[in-house]
Amino acid sequence: MSENPPRRPRILVVTPEITYLPEGMGNLAQRMCAKAGGLADVSASLVKALYDQGADVHVALPNYRRMFHLDVASVFDNEFQKVSRALPEQRIHLAQDRVFYHRSSVYGAENHLIALAFQREVINHTIPQVRPDLIHCNDWMTGLIPAVAKRHGIASLFTVHNIHSEHLTLAQIEDRGIDAADFWQHLFFRRAPYSYEESRSGNPVDLLTSGIFAADHVNTVSPTFLEEIVGGGHSFIPDAIRNELRGKKHSDCATGILNAPDPVFDPASDPYLSHHFGPKDHIEGKRKNKLELQERLGLAGDPDVPLFYWPSRLDPVQKGCQLLTEILYDLVSKNKIQIAVVASGNFQKHFLNIVKGHNLWDRVAVRDFDEKLSHIAYAGSDFIFMPSSFEPCGLPQMIAPKYGSLTVAHDTGGLHDTVEPLDVAGNKGNGFLFRHFNADGLRWAIGEALKFHALPAEDRAKQLARVMAESSARFNHETTAADYIKRYEQMLNTTVTA
C-alpha cells in the first residue's frame, strides 16, 4: 500500500494590486483589474506561474468593487462566505471593507486606512482560513503581516517595490481592529520601544521598515538597486530602511529579483498594433508602425528619421525628464531626429513650452499617456529614453527591445541590470548607458545611439533581430516567477510545485 504524497507547502501572496488571476482560481478571476504600477504585474504573473506549475497558492487582495466591475454586490456581502464554504478550492481571498468598495483607483487620500483595513482582514480572517506555510507580502501596505507571521512561526518573504513608507502608532493600528499587542515586539518603531504601554500612543511604527525587519527574507525588484541602497547610495533612502536592508543583506537574507513586462508586450501579437512583426520581419513592421505613429502625432512622415520615444511619467525627481528639456532644442536643431513624448505629469508643460516657443510641432510631439499610443510608440520608435536618477526596477527598458527599440539610459538600479552597452563588433548589448546624471551625459548617449543609426541598414537589422530575440527570451514572467519559486524553496527547504 503506497503512502500518501507529502503535502505541498501552501503559499499566500498578499498584494494591494493585481492585474489578473489565472483561469481555475475561481470564477471571479478574469473580472479583476486593480493596477497602479509594476507591483500589479509581478503579483499577477507570480500567482499564475505558481498555479500553472501545481503550487498550492492562494492570493489575498482588497475587494475594489468598482474597479472589478462587479455588479452583483450580494456575492461580496452576505453571500461571499457562503460561496467560499461551497467552493473549498477557492483561492482568491477578497478583503471586505467599505473603504475599498467605492474606490476607482488603488491609491488615494485614505491610503493608511485602506492599508489597515486590508491587513486587518488578512490577519484576522485570511491567514487563519488558509493556514499558509509561507506568506509573500508586497510593500508598505502589507508591512504588518511579516510581524504576524513571525509571531505564529510562519515563514515570510517581503518584496520592496518602492521606497515609500507610512508611520502609524499602535493605538491607530488597534483602532482599526488589529490586535497589535499580540505581535508588537516584531515591529520597527521610530525609536527603540521601552514597553508596549510606553510606545502605544507616542512612538510610531514604520510600516515598510517593519516588513523588512520582521520578514525571513527580503527582496528588491532589481539586484543593483539593493546593492546601491546597502552601499550608501541614494540620499533619499531613510536610514532605518537602509540599515535594515543592510543587516538582511549581510545575513544573506536579502536579494534582488527583476520584475518582467506583461506578456501583452509582444510585437507579433500586440492587440494595440495594426502592423505586427517579429525578429525576422522587423524592418517592414517597424517602418509601418513608425509612419502610423508619425501620422497620429502630427510628426513629419519619414520612415528613415531616427525617432526617440519617452515612455515614463514626467517626474523630474526620479525619471530625469529635466535632462532632456535642457538639451531638447539643441538636439532637434542640430540633428535630423524626432521625439515622441507620450506621458503625463506636471513636467509636461516644460516640453510643450519648448515646442511652442521654437515651433517644433513636426519634430517633437507631446501627448498625455494613452495605452494604445504607447504600444505604437514602442513599435515605431528606434530608441527610448530612460535617464532615471534612480530606478528600483523599471519596465520600459525591458519592453522596448522586444519591439526593436533600443534604450538610452542612466546607468543605475534596474537599468544597470537590464541594459548593456551595444557592441556591434562583439554582437552583444541592447542599448546605450551614461554614468553621470546630467544633460551632457544624456547628450553623449544620444550621440552613441545616432552613430548606431548611421550604420548600414543591414548591420542595424542584424543587431535588432538579435536584441529582439534575446529580450523575448530573457524578460518574461516565467523567468521572474522561477526566481521567486527558487527563493520559496530555499526558505522552506522543500519543493513548492508539483
102-161 confidence digits (pLDDT tens): 655 544 556 788 889 899 999 999 999 999 999 999 999 999 999 999 999 999 999 998
Render pLDDT for 419-447 as a digit per residue (tens, 0 to 9). Answer: 999 999 999 999 999 999 999 999 999 99
Mean pLDDT confidence for 14-31: 53
pLDDT at 321: 97
Cα–Cα dist 136/188, whole Å: 19
Q: Closest Cα to residue 451, out of 466, 437, 432?
A: 432
| C-alpha to C-alpha distances, 454 to 283, 302, 305, 400, 450, nearest whole angstrom | 15, 15, 10, 20, 6
How crowded is the C-beta side of 443, counted as CA atoms within 13 Å? 14
Q: Check whether 22 has a pLDDT greater than 60.
A: no
- pLDDT exceeding 70 applies to what percent of the chain? 85
**Cell 488571476 -> residue:** 21
Mean pLDDT confidence for 389-403: 95
Question: 15, 449 in Cβ contact below 8 A?
Answer: no
Average pLDDT taken over every residue of the chain: 87
Question: 306, 450 in Cβ contact below 8 A?
Answer: yes
**Cell 510641432 -> residue:** 361
Cα–Cα dist 251/260, whole Å: 27
Q: Check whether 39 has a pLDDT greater than 80.
A: no
Cα–Cα dist 498/481, whole Å: 15
Q: Check whether 40 has a pLDDT greater than 80.
A: no
Mean pLDDT confidence for 458-469: 98
pLDDT at 83: 29
- Model pTM? 0.88
Mean pLDDT confidence for 291-308: 98
Band of the pLDDT at 385, cuts 50, 70, 90?
A: very high
**Cell 532589481 -> residue:** 222
Render pLDDT for 148-194 as a digit per residue (tens, 0 to 9). Answer: 999 999 999 999 988 888 999 999 999 999 999 999 999 999 999 99
pLDDT at 283: 97
Q: Check whether 36 has a pLDDT greater than 60.
A: no
Pairing of strands 254-256, 307-310: unpaired
Q: Check whether 3 has a pLDDT greater than 90.
A: no
In the chain, the amino acid numbered 225 is: F
The one-character DSSP state at 215 is -
The one-character DSSP state at 37 is S
Band of the pLDDT at 29, cuts 50, 70, 90?
A: very low
pLDDT at 16: 78
Question: 238, 177 in Cβ contact below 8 A?
Answer: no
Pairing of strands 205-206, 167-168: antiparallel
